[in-house]
Structure 1
Amino acid sequence: MTLRRKTLLFICMTFVILIGVLQVISENILLDSFAKLEEQNTSQNVERVLNALSNELSSLVTTTSD
């Protein structure tokens, strides 16, 4: 194997490894960010449902007390 071929192979392998490392790092960062966003969104939705149920219960109590 010539020096040129070894050098080209080394450079290609280095790029493949770097791309793989960047993909893993990016994936972890993005997945963590989306998981946090999803958790916040879910918490907001649960809070909205609880408020809606509380309002409905208050309305029913007011209606039935008459």
Structure 2
Amino acid sequence: MPEMTLAERIRERAFQLWQLDGSLEGCADEYWRIARALVEREAQPDFAQRSLDSDCAVPD
């Protein structure tokens, strides 16, 4: 299966956010903006490492 394009990933995330928020009408642009920011942040090369280095790590 080919990888999803950036627009497809944003569309899917926006739809998920819309559903989680109660499927509000008239807010498509806002969901798209939020989804785009989330997807672009996750696409950054150091995103996975930053997630691992979170403040929630269990101390030694």
Fold match (TM-score > 0.5): no
Greater share of helix: 1
TM-score, normalised by the number of residues in structure 2: 0.34
**Larger Rg, first or second structure (1 or 2):** 1
TM-score, normalised by the number of residues in structure 1: 0.31
